[in-house]
Structure 1
Amino acid sequence: MGGMPRRQFVRLSGTASATGLLGLVGADRALADAGPTPQPSPSAPDGPGAGACPAPSPLCGFPTDTGGRYDLWDRVQVCVGTKTGPPFPQCLRTTPTYVILDGGSGSNHDFLLVPTCRISGIECPFITTANAPNYWLEAWNNAQPGQPGHVVYPHIGLGINSADPTIRQQDQLHIHLAGIHSGIQTQLNNHDTAISNDPSRWRSQIVPIWGLTSAGLPAPRSYRVLHVANLNGNLFRLLLDSVVRPTGATMAAQILAVTPRLVGGGGFYVLNSEPGLPVPPGQPGGTGTVDFLLAYA
């Protein structure tokens, strides 16, 4: 986003060797040039009505937070007209519960969905409650053709980072609307028969995914993966009930990513990881960032 510091973006691959990884980067560029493949048909964003917001707190943040790590919150307030400031061309859609912003990389597959409530991030308990809007469904709908956050890429990836301050640069919840590297889809397809749609099995369905760092080095990580038929449910609540509480983990350490399931009965893959993810012997560890999955620039 213009004026906001951002991490250097990463590109991923889907093989277990550096040579194969780099080959997939070239294939992914060719796919991007050819245009996106068909995605599951969305409904148009419905512009949800205003709902409740979390009570101000150290965990969820305060509406008076401003500047620095809250610059994204400042921009949202300008978009909705509750704060004065220069107009931001990045305000692509404004609704009572979220805004769609340009992600700032200069590409046509980098956008953000940001709540109009003051919500620090994945650690805020409000997002797991029935009062929270379905931010994931709205992000998916806004990433479709004809929408302001249209992701022009072969496959769409949505993602949110953990609260780790070395990873997350902005303390206002934001879901990335981006591309997902073709190699990630290939690997998910290959593991599909071992991935269940049973939430009670999510925490034990660990899949190694190979990617590339921003420096082009192999970066294998492990992810818990679940099939879901649609995005109608609250994925934050599903994560809390199916993974975080049963494993004694914390929401602040989690990442979530969503991408279409291109095989079987369709639907979506939901990927989760954390730095302390227990993995089978010989598998790579977890991660607190979705940047190993998403293609921004």
Structure 2
Amino acid sequence: MHRRRFVRLSGTAGATGLLGLMGAGRALADGGPAPGPNPPEPGGPVGSPCPTPSSLCGYPSDTGGRYDLWDRVQVCQGTKTPPPFTDCLRTTSTYVVLHGGSGSNHDYLLVPSCRVSGIECPFVATSAAPNYWLDAWLNAQPGQPGHVVYPHIGLGINSADPTIRQQDQLHIHLAGIHSGIQTQLNNHDSTITNDPSRWRNQIVPIWGLTSTGAPAPRSYRVIHVANLNVNLFTLLRNSVVRPTGSTMAAQTLAVTPRLVGNGGFYVLNSEPGLSVPPGQPRGTGTVDFLLAYA
């Protein structure tokens, strides 16, 4: 069964403490080391806003099949009768953390508590949206419910292509990232920009891996950022999608720590129609060639 078709059918857990965005939490936002004891969970803003229901963002009444993740979010929130297999590792007013399909200790999902179809929903790039990427990074740290036990963390979201994305409820993968990916990014670091206006033209060939371990070379737009305190969906929309005349639905987005220079994070973006220099591999709508799940 495809790993994105379901979340692991075992275990239950209540919400635990979440790292704040100040003090020790700020070190994580900037790619720093994990701190010691965690402060109490802030719980997120009360009455957090959600997108207006629409064909692009989805409807709260959606259920079953491709909306299975949305069903599970509602179970975690207590608004839907729970089946026996749902596991809620953390539930807040803005997101839920669940196991990923492989069930490994480096495969988790962060899913909005609102009905949000995916990267194509305009809400995610607005100032009203929570910073899901920072939330995902914080939850992937030691002591947190989505702790990714792997040499390095990779976060990722797939495009809306139905042949790639099996669930139409936005979910960020909290996973490992193949070691060779960061080696390649390190080698390209001197040519990778931190200027958002240049991001769309910073196209780097990366040799990723398929689920069977076969080489999967693809091209990605790459930028490095100092921290995750900005909305990466907004950055992508304004710096890449609008200037190139593309669509958010076609985009895939991944994040991994930058291990050289002054640190921070690499943000990788690609799409199937990516215009690449001669001789470079084509683009892609999936993060599966970058992330290690099982």
Fold conserved (TM > 0.5)? yes
Match of residue 252, structure 1, among 243, 249, 254: 249
**Which residue is equivalent to 1:294?**
291
**Which residue is equivalent to 1:272?**
269
Match of residue 236, structure 1, among 206, 221, 233: 233
**Which residue is equivalent to 2:143?**
146
Asked whether the 8 Å contact 1:210–1:221 carries over to 2, the reply is yes
| Matches of 2:234 and 2:291, distance apart in 1 | 23
Per-residue deviation, 1:41 = 3.0
Question: Identity of paired residues, percent?
Answer: 80
Q: Does 1:135 align with 2:132?
A: yes
Amino acid across the alignment from 1:257: A
Q: Does 1:48 align with 2:44?
A: yes
Asked whether the 8 Å contact 1:4–1:71 carries over to 2, the reply is no
Greater Cα shift, 151-160 or 98-107: 98-107
Unaligned runs of 5+ in 2: 7-30
Tell me the matched-pair count.
Answer: 266
Root mean square deviation, CA, Å: 1.9
The alpha-carbon distance between structure 1 residues 4 and 223, as it changes in their structure 2 partners (threshold 3 A), is closer
| Matches of 1:192 and 1:125, distance apart in 2 | 31
Unaligned runs of 5+ in 1: 7-38
**Which residue is equivalent to 1:226?**
223
Asked whether the 8 Å contact 2:75–2:86 carries over to 1, the reply is no
Per-residue deviation, 1:47 = 2.8
| Matches of 2:175 and 2:120, distance apart in 1 | 22
1:70 is paired with a residue whose SS is helix
**Which residue is equivalent to 2:5?**
5
Amino acid across the alignment from 1:80: Q
2:241 is paired with a residue whose SS is helix
Map 1:78-89 onto structure 2 (within 5 A).
Answer: 78-88=75-85
Per-residue deviation, 1:219 = 1.0
Per-residue deviation, 1:87 = 4.5
| Matches of 1:3 and 1:67, distance apart in 2 | 17
Amino acid across the alignment from 1:228: V
2:159 is paired with a residue whose SS is coil
| Matches of 2:259 and 2:189, distance apart in 1 | 10
**Which residue is equivalent to 1:22?**
none
| Matches of 1:89 and 1:186, distance apart in 2 | 37
TM-score by length of 1: 0.86
Q: Which whole-Å deviations, capped at 9, do the CAs of 1:192-226 have from their partners, x for residues lacking one? A: 00001100010000000002222332210000000
Per-residue deviation, 1:48 = 1.3
| Matches of 1:121 and 1:106, distance apart in 2 | 22
**Which residue is equivalent to 1:206?**
203
State the structure with bigger RCO (CA 8 A, min sep 6), 1 or 2: 1
Per-residue deviation, 1:89 = 5.0
Q: Which whole-Å deviations, capped at 9, do the CAs of 1:107-143 have from their partners, x for residues lacking one? A: 1000000000000000000001010000000000000
**Which residue is equivalent to 2:17?**
none
| Matches of 2:84 and 2:234, distance apart in 1 | 35
Asked whether the 8 Å contact 1:42–1:141 carries over to 2, the reply is no
